[in-house]
C-alpha cells in the first residue's frame, strides 16, 4: 500500500483531497468504526459475514489505509491503533484468497467461486472488440469516479486477477458496480447499475498494486484479447457490438453530467457530500452492526472546519518510506506537519 501511495501525485486529487479532508472528522470516524466493531463483536458476527459486508478486497485495503492515516492525525494511542488495525487486517486475510496485500494481484474468489463466475458464454476477441471493451470500462470507471470521487472510487471499481489458466494465458475480471446510488445522489441517469468485463488474455502480464484499479500490463492487451464476455446488470451482451457501444455512450454522457453535478457543488456542500460518501461505502458494514450508516451530526459539524492543508507532506523523491511509517500503527511517526494539528 505504501508503494501505491508513493507512486501517486497528490496534486491530482480533485475536486477535494482526502489528505486535507479526512483529518477534519478523523476522531468522529474512528468513534463510528469503533462502535460498529463493538456491536459486531457483541453479536458474535463471524469474520466471513463481516468481510462479506465490505464491497471488495481492494476497497478494504484502500479504506484500511485511510483509517491508519486517520488514527495518526487523530493521535489515537498506539494500543488502540493496533487493535483497530488488527481487526481490519484479519478481515483482509479472510477476504483475500491469496496475495492479501495486493503486491501483484487482486484475488477475492475461491476456486469454487471462480468456476461459478466463469460458467458463462465467451466470444472470440479481436483488436476492435478489445478497444470497445476498454472504452466501455473507461466510461463506467469515469462515472464511478464522479459518483464517489478519488477517495472512494475503489469501492465501485475493482479488477480481479490475474487467474492463470494455461501457458501464457490469464483471465482478468473488471467490475464496476453501484453506478446508480440513489441513497447517495437522489437522481441517476445511468443506463445500468453494474458493468463486468471478463477477458482472456494471451501473452499479456497483468498486475495491480494494493488498489486494484491501478492496473498495468506488459504485452499488448488489445492484440492479446483471445476471448471475452460482458455482463451488464447480470445480462450477458457479447454478440451485439452495437449494444456495447450504446451502453458505453450512455455511460459517457452520464459521467459528464455527474461530474458537472459534483463540481458545481459549493465547497461546504461538497464537504458534506464527501462525508456522506465515506459513510455510504461502508453502508453494509454499519447496517450489519445495527447502526445508522449516514454521517452523525458530530461528523457533519466537524467537516465545517477549514481543510487541513499540507498535513501529509511526503518528501521529494522516494515517498515509500514516508508512507510506510505513517501507516504503521506501531510507529509513532505522525508525518512531518502533524504537530500543527
With b meaning 16 or more CB within 10 Å and e meaning fewer, what string describes 97-128? beebebeebbbbbeeeebeebbeeebeebeee
Coil, strand or helix: which one is 22?
A: helix
For residue 104, what is the DSSP state? S
Closer CB to another protein, residue 11 or residue 330?
A: 11
Binding mask 227-266 for another protein (x = CB under 8 A): ---------------------x---xx-xx-xxx--x---
Shortest Cβ 76–another protein spacing (Å): 28
130 binds another protein (CB under 8 A): yes
C-alpha cell at 312: 501529509
Shortest Cβ 150–another protein spacing (Å): 8
Shortest Cβ 10–another protein spacing (Å): 9
Which one of residues 109, 135, 202, 325 is an interface residue with another protein (CB under 8 A)? 135
71 binds another protein (CB under 8 A): no
131 binds another protein (CB under 8 A): yes
143 binds another protein (CB under 8 A): yes
Length of the chain: 341
Segment lying near another protein (by CB under 8 A), choices 4-12, 34-42, 287-295, 297-305: 4-12
Q: Which of positions 182-211 make contact with another protein (CB under 8 A)?
A: 209, 211
Phi-psi region of 229 (alpha: psi -120 to 50; beta: other; left: phi over 0): beta
Shortest Cβ 93–another protein spacing (Å): 24
Q: How many residues bind to another protein according to rule CB under 8 A?
A: 38
For residue 105, what is the DSSP state? -
C-alpha cell at 332: 509513532
7 binds another protein (CB under 8 A): yes
Burial class of residue 217, CB neighbours in 10 A (0-12, 13-18, 19+): middle
Cis-peptide, bond into residue 6, ω within 30° of zero: no
Which one of residues 215, 272, 313, 338 is an interface residue with another protein (CB under 8 A)? 215
Widest Cα–Cα separation across the chain: 59
Residue 49: CA atoms inside 13 Å, Cβ hemisphere, count? 11
Which one of residues 82, 217, 226, 336 is an interface residue with another protein (CB under 8 A)? 217
Closer CB to another protein, residue 63 or residue 255?
A: 255
Tell me the backbone φ, ψ of residue 328, rounded to 5 degrees: -80, 115
Interface with another protein by CB under 8 A: which residues?
Answer: 4, 7-9, 11-12, 14, 130-131, 134-135, 137-139, 141-143, 145-146, 209, 211, 213-217, 220-222, 248, 252-253, 255-256, 258-260, 263
Amino acid at each position: 500500500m505504501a508503494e501505491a501511495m508513493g507512486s501517486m501525485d497528490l496534486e491530482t486529487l480533485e475536486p477535494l483531497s482526502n489528505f486535507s479532508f479526512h483529518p477534519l472528522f478523523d476522531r468522529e470516524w474512528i468513534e463510528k468504526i469503533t462502535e460498529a466493531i463493538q456491536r459486531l463483536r457483541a453479536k458474535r458476527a463471524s469474520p466471513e459475514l463481516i468481510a462479506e459486508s465490505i464491497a471488495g478486497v481492494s476497497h478494504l485495503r484502500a479504506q484500511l489505509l485511510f483509517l491508519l492515516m486517520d488514527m495518526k492525525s487523530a493521535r489515537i494511542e498506539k494500543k488502540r491503533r493496533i487493535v483497530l488495525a488488527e481487526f481490519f487486517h484479519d478481515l483482509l486475510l479472510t477476504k483475500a484468497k491469496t496475495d492479501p496485500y495486493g503486491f501483484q494481484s487482486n484475488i477475492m474468489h475461491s476456486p469454487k467461486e471462480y468456476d461459478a463466475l466463469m460458467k458463462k458464454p465467451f466470444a472470440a476477441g479481436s483488436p476492435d472488440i478489445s478497444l470497445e471493451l476498454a472504452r466501455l470500462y473507461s466510461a463506467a470507471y469515469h462515472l464511478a469516479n464522479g459518483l464517489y470521487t478519488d477517495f472512494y472510487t475503489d469501492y465501485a471499481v475493482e479488477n480481479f486477477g490475474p487467474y492463470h489458466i494455461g501457458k501464457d494465458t490469464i483471465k482478468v475480471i473488471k467490475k464496476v458496480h453501484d453506478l446508480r446510488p440513489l441513497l447517495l445522489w437522489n437522481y441517476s441517469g445511468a443506463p445500468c447499475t453494474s458493468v463486468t468485463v471478463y477477458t482472456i488474455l494471451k501473452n499479456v502480464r497483468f498486475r495491480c498494486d494494493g488498489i486494484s484499479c491501478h492496473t498495468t500490463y506488459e504485452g499488448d492487451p488489445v492484440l492479446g484479447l483471445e476471448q471475452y464476455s460482458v455482463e451488464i446488470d447480470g445480462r450477458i451482451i457479447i454478440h451485439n457490438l452495437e449494444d456495447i457501444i450504446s451502453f458505453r455512450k450512455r455511460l459517457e454522457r452520464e459521467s459528464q453530467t455527474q461530474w458537472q453535478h459534483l463540481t458545481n457543488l459549493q465547497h461546504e456542500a461538497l464537504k458534506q457530500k464527501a462525508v456522506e460518501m465515506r459513510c455510504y461505502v461502508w453502508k453494509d458494514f454499519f447496517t450489519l452492526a445495527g447502526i445508522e450508516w449516514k454521517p452523525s451530526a458530530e461528523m457533519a459539524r466537524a467537516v465545517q472546519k477549514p481543510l487541513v492543508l499540507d498535513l501529509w507532506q511526503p518528501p521529494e523523491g522516494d515517498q515509500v518510506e514516508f508512507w510506510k511509517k505513517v501507516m504503521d500503527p506501531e510507529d509513532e511517526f505522525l508525518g512531518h506537519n502533524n504537530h500543527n494539528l
